Structure formats: C-alpha cells, structure tokens
Structure 1
Amino acid sequence: LKPNGIWYTRVSGIWQSVWMEEVNARSIDDLDFACDIKTGTVSIKANLSGTAVADEKLRVTATIKGEAAGSAEGSPGNLSLKIAQPRLWSPDTPNLYDLKVELLDGTGKVIDSAKSYTALRELGKAKDQNGNWRFTLNGKPIFHWGPLDQGWWPDGLLTPPSEAAMNSDIDYLKAAGFNMIRKHIKVEPRRYYYHCDKVGMMMWQDQVSMGYGPDTEPKGSNPNWTRLAPDPKDGEWPNEAHEQFVTEYKRMVDHLRDQPCIVVWSPFNEAWGQHRTMETGKMAVAYDKTRPINIASGGNFWPIGDIADEHAYPDPGFPVDQKRFNDYLKVVGEFGGHGWPVKGHLWDTTKENWGYGGLPKSLDEWKERYTKSINVLRGLRRQGISAGVYTQTTDVEGEINGLLTYDREEKVPASWLKPLHDQLLATPDASTYTPILATSEDSAQEWKFTTDNPGEGWEAANFNDKEWKKAKGAFGTKETNNAKIGTEWSSSEIWLRREFNASKPKGNLTLRIRHDEDAEVYLNGIQIGRFNSHIGNY
C-alpha cells in the first residue's frame, strides 16, 4: 500500500485471463511430454476426463515447419512417437514440433482432439577441464546469461497490457544477446513461455515468495538472510502452511513442466519465506528430475539441489575459493542494477528514484559501469561461474535500474549491448593463467604505500618513492569479508606502488583486483583500469 525501494504497489485479485470451455463427454484435459534425444522419441501421456470409452486410443501426428515428422497410435497413458531426422531445441536453433492429438473410440472415430507442441532437448551438467560444474544443453556446455525479469507494468502492475507487449520485452532481450531470463517470483501467462520457446530463450523460473525478511509476520517465519554463509537457519512454518507452499510449488511445475524454455526451478529467493529447506529441496529434486534445482537464489544456501547462487551488487562476485561449493553449479543470480533516469519516463518524480551503487552522472558513465560489470563476470566465468543474471529488464516504479524504462523505452539499444554480451558468451570456461605479478590472495606481497596525498606524477615509473613505507598486502581492516589482510588500513585513501620486470607475454593480459570503493590502476604511468564502488572477490 506504501510502495518504496524494492517493495512495489500491492497486487491482489485475478490478474491473469480466466475462461470457460465446453468439452466433449470424453475429452483431453492435459498432455505431458518427455523426450529422449538419443533415440529421437517423444513420450506422450494424455490426461483424460469423462467416462472411459471402450478400446479408446490416442493418435498423434507431428510436423515441423509444415513438414511431416512422425505419427503414432496407442494407449493414451503411454504413447511413444518416433521423430524422423530429429532436430534439437536450443537458443540458436529453437526447433518446435507441432502436434495434432486425437482421441479415438474403438471404431476409429475421433471423439476429441487438441493441438500442442513439444521439443527435443536435454538438460544436464558436466565438469570442465578445471573441475568446475557447467550447465549443458543437449550434451554441450552452455553459459546461462540473462536479466532478472519481474514482469511489472505501469498500467496493469502484474497484468501485461497485451501479448505483443510481453513479446516485445523478450524480443529486445534476444536481440541484445541474452540467452536466458530469470523470471523473478512471478508466473507469467502461458503465452509468454510459448514465445520464449519459439524464439529460443531459456527460462529460470522462481516460485512466488512469501515475506520480505525477519520482520515479516508471523515473526520467525522468515530467517535472517545470511547468503552463502555456513550454518544457515530456517524459518519456522506450521505443517499446514508448508503443505500449502508445496502444493503451490507443484502446481507451478505441473503448469509449466512441458515448456522447453524452462531450464531451472528456484523454490526460494534471498531467504524470503525460506523454511524446511532440505525437505523442500528433496521434494523439488524428486518432482522434476529433468531440470536443475536452485534451492535458494542468493541464499540462504543449504547443501541440496544443483546450484550455489550468490547475489552481489553492483559488480558480480562469488567466493570461488570456498571448496564447499565445488559440488555445485556456481552462479551469480543477481548483480548490476546500474540505474539511469530517463526524463519523461519516470514513474514518480517526487519520490526517490534509485539504482545500486548510486546514479551515474551521465549515460556514458552508466555504459562504463555496465561494461565493467560484464568484464568482471567474464573473469568469474574463467574461475568456474556457470551463469550470470543482470538486474534487470525494466525499471519498476522507483527502482530505475532497467535496460528499459518502466513504460518500455530503450535506455540503450540492443545493438549496443550485443557485442558486449557476445564477448561474454565467447569467453572460455577454463583458461590457463601464468601470473606475471602475484596478488596477495595466496601469499602476502610487499608494496610501498602512503596515506598522504603524494601529489601529481606519483604514478610515473620514475617517481621518487623512497620515503614511502613498505608493507605486506592486502590492505584493509579485519572486518573486510573474504580477504586476507596483511596490513591494517582504515583511512579514506591509500596510494600503492610496486616495481617489477617482465618479458613480453605470450597471451592476453588480464588484471585481477579486489577493491572496496573506487580504485585506479596505472602501469608505467598509463591508466589501465578505473573501478567504481566495490567488489567482494578478485
């Protein structure tokens, strides 16, 4: 009722289309599909309603782009359809098979019929050459890259104004070079998922959350958000409430399980309503064995399911050096959130309009921040990260960190984003590095430093730094997370210098840095990096 920050205008009532349909006395209620890409077969189960008819059977005819692809007749409860010259579904080749499904009586008369579609695709995971788990699609590794998408609209809130409006969001993201969308705590109308199936856009699907943190009533139902920290706590839910949560989760899965685009299920987000995590995770894994389970996007992390998911703003981060995550697909489930106000397209100019890390002074600065975040994610991919989720597709009310405004004006064209995203998707999963100059991650390195402003020219190779102190890195306070501090430093600014000799490198040069607040890096007097805000890992 009082929207602010990440808590938007309250929505209640029926917000999706509802219809009534007249059906035959014996009719097809639902169709369930499974596929085997190795044999090119599709298994079909028809759920029927009404009084059974003697000797009834199912007839299914498949076509692709108007060409015959196979047909079969048999039991409605278990029919196997062999596809001729099977074509697999992927973001690059979103092949869909159109199906004509007919229910026949004992004489061969059609007593009901339906149209549907399916795809041949297989989800999995495999280790790269460095032992990190990677998502696979049809047996090949694939990096999942997409935005957080909340599906909010300025006129209908959760209700989109039209199918064309929904599709335009997806088409913009596809043109921008994303291959995935994380649908955040919302289940969209089925036509949304159909368009993702059709254009080749993978989908991470969240379960709708309850609560917003420890202050949620009833008290104790929402635990403290401890992210990926060990020994997390669960919220306390009575049996009846938990059973309702499980019922709604299973209904979501049943409703959407036949959408080829859906590649990950996420029961919880950031500890909102997180309870009985191990029990819920075991249920989710058992209920759909064909898709990875991300038990809690952003934590709280429990050792169940397939994925360990960190949220880090504004730049992506993950504690890749912690071995307890080695058995999981490591992902950055939220990062970025770089805000930019577009005049004439703000929801409410009288309220705070915000983005993570503060608002930039110009669109060029926004582009610098975005580019930096993508480059940090590229580095994390080489260290074992299997997916990234950027916040977000559109502005939502006062949260103005969308790539589009709330009323769907482009802040940057898809053509500007795509080259950056292509570089990310082309980044190798496993790279070999030869350190030229070591960081203090593993062993403390000696630096010269001063906390007094040394004046102009301090970055030059021939600058006289004889009066500077010597100390071991890293520099910071004991409260600095995920860092091995060699020298206590708590003032607002510090200048560091280090001399080294190196031969010409054989490959590309990569700078690895961990910083808290703004940092500038120079090599022989030339600036080679400028970094805003902070990043929690190298």
Structure 2
Amino acid sequence: MSISPAHEVPRPEYPRPQMVRQDWLNLNGPWQFEIDAGDSGLDRGLRERELSQTITVPFAPESELSGLGHTDFMEAVWYRRTVTIPAAWAGRRTLLHFGAVDHDATVWVNGVEVARHRGGFSPFTADLSEEVRPGEDATIVVRARDPRQGSQARGKQSTRYGNYECLYTRTTGIWQTVWLEPVPDVHLSRPRITPDVANSSFTVVTPLSGNRPGTSVRVTVSDREGVVATATARADVDLAPSLRLELDRVHLWEPGEGYLYDVRVQLLDAGGAVTDTVDSYAGLRSIAIDGKRVLINGRPVFQRLVLDQGYYPDGLMTAPTDAALLRDIELSVAAGFNGARLHQKVFEERFLYHADRLGYLVWGEFGDWGASTGHEQQPTASFITQWLEVLERDVSHPSIIGWCPLNETSEAIHDRVAQLDDVTRGMYLATKLADPTRPVVDASGYSHRVPETDIYDSHNYEQEPTAFAGQLSGLSKNEPFVNTTSGDRPISVPYRGQPYFVSEYGGIWWNPELAGTEQDATRVGSWGYGQRVRTEEEFHVRFAGLTEALLENADMFGYCYTQLTDVFQEENGIYRFDRSSKLDVERIRQVQSQPAATERSS
C-alpha cells in the first residue's frame, strides 16, 4: 500500500531492510508531545488528555530536527498520535514497531497498555489487534522515562547538565522510526541467515508465530542473473524450520565488494497459497581465526578501522537522512579505512544495510557506558536482555565481522566485583550462543575478564610514535600492551595468544581555527587526547608515525583510529562534526594504503 509522500515524512525509507514487507505505514512526522519533569504524568492525567507541544518523530527532543532542541534533563516525556488503521488490512493483525526509544517505554493504544520495554538501543513491537481493527482509529500514547540517576546503558550521553570531554548531548524518547504493518495470524518472524562458504550455501532459519496443519515455508535465493537456489520445508511441526540452500552460482561477499543475494521467504497454506512474504538479502562470507590472524573468506584482511560514534549536529544519534548514513561510510573509505568500530551506540539498521552493500567491515557494539554508580561500573542483568535484542536484529548482516558487548570496564580482577564479572561473562556467553560464527571481544580495552575471549585488545593514546611502537613491541613474545589503572592491581585475565589489535589509538587533537589562539592555549571548549598538534603538517607526521607502527607489527590483525568526525567539543576527527573537510584526506589515505606486515607475509 502507499505511504505518505516523502516530503511530508522525515526518514521515509523502510527502516528494516533485512526483513521487508510490502504493506506498511510510516508514523514519523508530527506527534503531540509534553515534558514530564517530575515523572508524575500518569497521576496528572497525561495519558488521557491532549499534550501541549508538537515534536517531529523520529528525532529526540534534545535535537534541532525535533523542532524543540530542549537539552536539559527530562525525567520523562510523553507522545500522543491518532492514526487510522488502513481498512485494506482487514483480516490481518496490526503490529506497531519502534526502532528505538530511550530509555524505559510504556505504550498505550486507546487507553490499554500494549507494551513495556527497557533499553534505549534495541527495537520492540506491540500487537494492536485486540485493541483496534482495520478501519478504526488508534490513539497511541507513549511514555518514555529517562532518569538522570542509576545504572543505565547510555553510551556517550552526558550525565552532567552540559557536554564534557567525550560525552555529549543526551537522547530522550523516540529516536528511530515508528511504523505499522499488517501480518496474518500465523506469520513469519525475522529470518536468520547463516552463510557457509565451505559448502557454497546458506542456512535459513525461519521462526514462526505459530503452526497450522499443512503449512510450509519456501525460501528462494537469487543473484543478479536470477534464481540460484530454492528449498521448501514443512512449517506445521517446527516453530523455526531450517532450510539449507546450495547455490548454483557463487559470489563471495568481500571487503570493499559487498555482493548480496536476494532472499525471499514465503509462508504457504495447505493449498499452496502464499499467506506471508518477507524479502531479505544475504552475503556469502566466512570469518576464521588462525593463530593471531583473523581471516575473511580464508585470507587475512588487515582491518583498518575508524571509531564511528554516529552523532550528527542537528539529529544527535539520529541521522537527518538515509543519505547521511551512506555518506559517513563514503567519507571513511575516502580516508583509506575499510571498516569501523560502531562505538557506544547501536546504529540504525539502515547503516548496516549500506555497509552490507559496500563491503564495509563493522564491529557491532552495545552502548554500555552509563553503568557507573560512582566508583565502579555496575552493569545489570538488563544489559544482557537488551544485548540479546540487538543480536536478534543484527545477526544476519554480513558486514558485521565481530561483536563487542562491553567497553572499558576497569575494576581490578582480585576485587571480584561479582556483578561485573557475571554480566561480562553473561554477555559473552549470550553472544556466542546467539552467534557462534563471529569472534567476540568480552570488553574492548582495559578489563578483559573472560579467559576464553576470542579477541584481546587495548586502547592506547600514546601520542609519540616511537614510544607507541615500543609499547607494542612485546606482542611478538606474547607480552602485549595491556591497559591498567592506578596501582598494581591487575584488571585483566592474562593474554593467551589470541588475535590482538589496538582498538582505539590516535585521537589526535586538532582544530585549525584555534591554532595559535588564546583558546588554543587554554583549551576551553575543546577536547582531545594528549598534546594538541600545532599545525596540520604536525598532524600528518604524527598520524603516519602512529599508524605505521601498527601496520608494521606482524602480530597485529588491525587497528581502530579515533575517530571519523569531531563530535561537539571532542575535536579529534578526520572530518569536522558537519562532515566538512578539515585535513588533507588523500595524505591520510596514502598512509593507510601501505601493505600491512600480515598482508605482505600471507
């Protein structure tokens, strides 16, 4: 069915590109809105009455694009919108989808609670079929609580009034697309597509909402020339039929060459009629570990990654347009990077779609920062729940080549911080259970607490290239640089020869407009790592020295440079916050174009 014209709806593109249905209704655009400063709105009747302001969804109220730009703390916010369920959806169930709501959401439809969800980075769905029918009006009310205090996965959102150091303007409430879609009573859930390069095939697991006698599932895989595989399985005896599809024509998904197969999943009734269809896609690629090397499709690929935090001046964590997501990847590739560590934020799925198409390598990460209760980080069991929702959404994206549940935990091992240990191990085990096909780093930088972690890494912001190379030289003797905190207490389990990389380095502090000014001397309103460079030439010399130290280390499988763009006061990006030019990008690309030691020896 048709949706509203693109010029009337912000972010009009289909938000879930790996599970597409043709019928849907985008609910982005104007919603009623009200700030609930004391989180007393339920008692004051906000659920029942009209709200006092208007906001543009899917942009958070702190952002300029929302029409509000309110950056103070908001304990709770409320949304309200009435929409008519299309009459053409008669005979089907209506699902209401939220891409992400920060942080603790409750949803009512026509006065009836239909969903509760905790976690600002993962999607959730409400079934409206018992409260409203096609052709009728649905009044949707959302309360989003975002408390200032307490352990919460906030990512890089500031817990102070203003921004400081590497923490930025908060995001409260709805910040990804909201939409409706109709489904039959028994329907397909998100397919899980696992590539098998060794056998030139895909395994497609097709979860169902239920079973009916005589039903079946059919999966068709096509390349750019036509159908390459078809398989059918019974859907009446298994809640998740599994089908193996051997490909007639083989095209590998490669770094820089994101070849994708189209995948169509259909649910058929006992008479063979199609009752539900989902369109998806897949990439045929493998990931393996050989000693200290990470292999993609059986060969070592040195991972030249950039830290990407996914913030925008006008949209904050929400990209202003789909083209802006694509543009960030293009800017990264232009600078010589072949991938990114998606840092302290679960990116919109549309970003992964573009990464999949372009063969852009990414590490999926959870935005776990914000779990500090003062002295130490204390993530809760809710982090595991939220992370599993992320894995369910993203596990079939070929661009994701590794997982990172936690970042920079730092408590001492012998303190036996039981809650941190339990959550760290729980998130690692949950990741391996959900996806045994990719490597997992238990916690990026600082405190490795799981002995069997697939990857070992460090964060190292030493700014002098010779000292930097010296710190990394022990890796050849299995004595790598390991992050520590003050004192002599170990914060990591011992290194045991895993693939190793410096997953944060550089962060070179450079703002050409401040060079030589009084503000340059005082550093007010600007932040970065180490001693700020004085000229662009000094930047390039330092960047080359640090990066070449990593490229020349034969025991390193990659690196991650901090960062792609400036973000507010953090001015260490390759590009400015508005994505305009700041440096000679061609010089940066040339440095990274040098063959790595692991590539020369393979």
Q: What is the CA deviation profile of residues 79-100 of structure 1, one whole-angstrom value per residue up to 9, with x for unaligned ones?
A: 1211112111111332110112
Pair 159,376 (structure 1): closer, same or farther in 2 beyond 3 Å: same
Identity across the alignment (%): 30
In 2, the alpha carbon distance for the partners of 1:272 and 1:53 equals 51
The answer to which of 22-31 and 160-169 deviates more is 22-31
Cα shift at 1:182: 0.1
Which one of the candidate residues 275, 292, 295 is aligned to 2:439?
A: 292
Offset, 1:221: 4.5
1:13-35 C-alpha deviation (Å, 9 max, x unpaired): 11111211122233222111122
The structural deviation recorded for 1:210 is 3.4
AA aligned opposite 2:168: Y
- The answer for the alignment partner of 2:528 in structure 1 is 355
1:301 to 438, 441, 448: 448
Structure 2 letter corresponding to 1:260: P
Question: What is the match of residue 264 of structure 1?
Answer: 402
Q: Residues 392 and 119 from structure 1, CA distance in 2 versus in 1: closer, same or farther, beyond 3 angstroms?
A: same
Quote the residue 2:65 is aligned against. none
Q: Distance in 2 between matches of 1:75 and 1:401?
A: 55
Separation (CA, whole Å) in 1 of partners of 2:285 and 2:327: 25
CA offsets per residue over residues 329-362 of structure 1, 9 Å max, x none? Answer: 1110100001221449xxx999421322222221
Task: Please tell me whether the aligned partners of residues 314 and 337 of structure 1 are also in contact (alpha carbons under 8 angstroms).
Answer: no
User: In structure 1, what residue type is equivalent to 2:440?
Assistant: I
> 2-side partners of 1:155 and 1:75: how far apart?
49
Alignment of 1:283-432 (within 5 A): 283-302=430-449, 303-315=451-463, 317-318=471-472, 319-320=474-475, 321-323=477-479, 324-343=494-513, 351-379=524-552, 381-382=553-554, 384-423=555-594, 425-428=595-598
Q: CA deviation at 1:258?
A: 0.6
The 5-angstrom pairing of residues 483-494 of structure 1 reads none
Specify the alignment match of 1:529 in structure 2: none
Corresponding position: 1:105 with 2:105: no
Does structure 2 retain, via aligned residues, the 8 Å contact 1:282–1:304? Answer: no
Is 2:369–2:407's contact at 8 Å kept on the other side of the alignment?
no
Question: What is the deviation of 1:203?
Answer: 0.7
- Distance in 1 (CA, whole Å) between partners of 2:426 and 2:266 is 40
**In structure 2, which of residues 383, 390, 413 is the aligned counterpart of residue 252 of structure 1?**
390
Residue number in structure 2 paired with 1:464: none
2:459–2:502 Cα contact (<8 Å) kept = yes
> Which letter does structure 2 place at the counterpart of 1:377?
L
Which amino acid counterpart does residue 8 of structure 1 have in structure 2?
Y
In structure 1, the residue matched to 2:203 is: 43
CA separation of 1:59 and 1:279: change in aligned 2, threshold 3 A: closer
Give the residue type in structure 1 aligned to 2:509: G
Following the alignment from structure 1 to structure 2, what is the Cα–Cα distance between the partners of residues 311 and 210? Answer: 16
**Larger relative contact order (CA 8 Å, sep ≥ 6):** 2
- Match in the other structure for 1:446: none
Structure 1 residue 180: Cα displacement: 1.6
Work out which of the residue numbers 311, 314, 328 in structure 2 matches 1:152. 311
1:39 is paired with a residue of what secondary structure?
Answer: coil
SS in 2 for 1:48: coil
> Alpha-carbon deviations, 1:25-61, whole Å to 9, x = none?
3322211112221211111121222x53321112222
The 3 A distance-change label for structure 1 pair 220 and 43 is same
Measure how far apart 1:282 and its partner are. Answer: 3.3
Q: Give 1:442-481 correspondences, 5 Å limit.
A: none
Kindly provide the CA deviation profile for residues 233-288 of structure 1, in whole angstroms up to 9, marking residues without a partner as x. xx5x6xxx32x111111111111001011111112111179542344433433332
Alpha-carbon distance in structure 1 between the residues aligned to 2:425 and 2:173: 32
Q: Which one of 233, 238, 251 corresponds to residue 74 of structure 1?
A: 233
Change (3 A) 1:431 1:200: closer
3-state DSSP class of the match of 2:182? coil
Shift of 1:431: 6.6
**Residue equivalent to 2:164:** 4
Report the CA distance shift for 1:38/1:428 in structure 2 as closer, same or farther (over 3 A). Answer: closer
> Which structure 2 segments of 5+ residues have no match?
1-160, 236-240, 412-419, 480-493
One-letter amino acid of the structure 2 residue matched with residue 193 of structure 1: L
Query: Aligned partners of 1:374, 1:358: CA distance in 2, in Å?
Result: 17
Report the AA paired with residue 162 of structure 2. Answer: K
Secondary structure of residue in 2 paired with 1:331: strand
Give the AA of the match of 1:152: Y
Matched, 1:59 2:243: no
Residue 177 of structure 2 is aligned to residue 17 of structure 1 = yes
| Counterpart pick for 1:140 among 299, 309, 325 | 299
The whole-number CA distance in structure 2 between the counterparts of 1:180 and 1:211 is 26
- Are 2:564 and 2:573, in contact at CA under 8 Å, matched by a contact in 1? yes
Q: Which structure has the bigger radius of gyration?
A: 1
Q: Is the 8 A contact 2:410 2:447 kept in 1?
A: no
Could you tell me which amino acid in structure 1 is paired with residue 290 of structure 2? A
Name the SS of the counterpart of 2:178 in structure 1: coil
Residue 178 of structure 1 aligns to a residue in which SS? coil
Q: Match of 1:34? A: 194
Check 1:258–1:431 CA distance in 2 against 1; reply closer, same or farther (3 A cut): closer
CA drift of 1:401 comes to: 0.4
CA contact (8 A) 2:176 2:348 kept: yes
Counterpart of 1:85 (choices 249, 257, 264) is: 249
Q: Classify 1:8/1:61 alpha carbon distance in 2 versus 1 (closer, same or farther; 3 Å).
A: same
Is residue 209–residue 272 contact of structure 1 (8 Å, CA) maintained in 2? no
3-state SS in 1 of match to 2:590: helix
Q: Distance in 2 between matches of 1:148 and 1:75?
A: 45
The 2-side partners of 1:220 and 1:284 are apart by 27
Question: Hey, what's the Cα distance between the residues in 2 that align with 1:47 and 1:284?
Answer: 19
- Counterpart amino acid of residue 574 in structure 2: L
Distance in 1 (CA, whole Å) between partners of 2:556 and 2:575 is 27
Unaligned runs of 5+ in 1: 128-132, 223-234, 433-538
Q: In structure 1, give the amino acid aligned to 2:332.
A: L
* 2:540 and 2:587 in contact (8 A); partners too: no
> How much does 1:66 deviate?
4.1
